[in-house]
């Protein structure tokens, strides 16, 4: 599934960029990517990483303040806005990515639940064995003790 998602993402990006690229733009982007961006990143990497961390923290705090119902509403409205302003190929791509993400979530979640269930079963079986051994041991010890005659 991971490879399919990566290939789909690459094809989608190539499709979207393919309509806007010309030879002149390809050369300009190549020059920027080769010479300008590495220098900018090396000079400003600490500032960019601090800014990224700060923005993530701020977004996470704001998201947590919304509450579950408002989070769902914001997600639904955002999805509708994105869907309304995109063409049909983008809509199919978004649908494909959502289904692939749901499939990956179900796989990982099922594995976690199955692991927890197996652990609980092993623990319960071990406890049953200890109880049965303990009960039979107590019964055998009690049978060895002779009742005292008064």
Q: What is the pLDDT of residues 109-145, one digit of tens each?
A: 776 667 767 777 787 777 777 666 655 666 565 555 6
Q: How high is the pLDDT of residue 56? A: 92
What is the end-to-end Cα distance of the chain in Å, rounded?
79
Q: Per-residue b/e over 25-41, b at no fewer than 16 CB within 10 Å? A: eeeeeeeeeeeeeeeee
Q: Taking the complete model, does pTM exceed 0.75, yes or no?
A: no
pLDDT tens for each residue of 64-98? 888 888 888 888 888 888 778 888 888 888 878 87
The torsion defined by the Cα of 57, 58, 64 and 66, in degrees rounded to 10, comes to: -170
Q: Where are the alpha helices (DSSP H) in the chain?
A: 2-18, 23-31, 37-66, 68-84, 88-144
Q: DSSP string of 12-29? A: HHHHHHHTT--HHHHHHH
């Amino acid at each position: 599934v991971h490879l399919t998602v990566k290939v789909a993402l690459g094809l989608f990006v190539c499709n979207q960029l393919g309509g806007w690229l010309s030879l002149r733009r390809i050369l300009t982007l190549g020059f920027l990517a080769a010479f300008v961006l590495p220098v900018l990143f090396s000079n400003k990497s600490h500032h960019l990483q601090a800014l990224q961390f700060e923005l993530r923290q701020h977004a996470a705090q704001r998201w947590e303040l919304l509450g579950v119902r408002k989070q769902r509403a914001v997600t639904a409205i955002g999805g509708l806005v994105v869907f309304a302003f995109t063409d049909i190929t983008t809509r199919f791509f978004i649908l494909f990515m959502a289904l692939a993400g749901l499939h990956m979530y179900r796989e990982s979640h099922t594995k976690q639940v199955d692991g927890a269930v197996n652990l609980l079963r092993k623990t319960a079986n071990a406890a049953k064995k200890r109880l049965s051994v303990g009960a039979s041991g107590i019964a055998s010890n009690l049978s060895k003790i002779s009742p005292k005659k008064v």
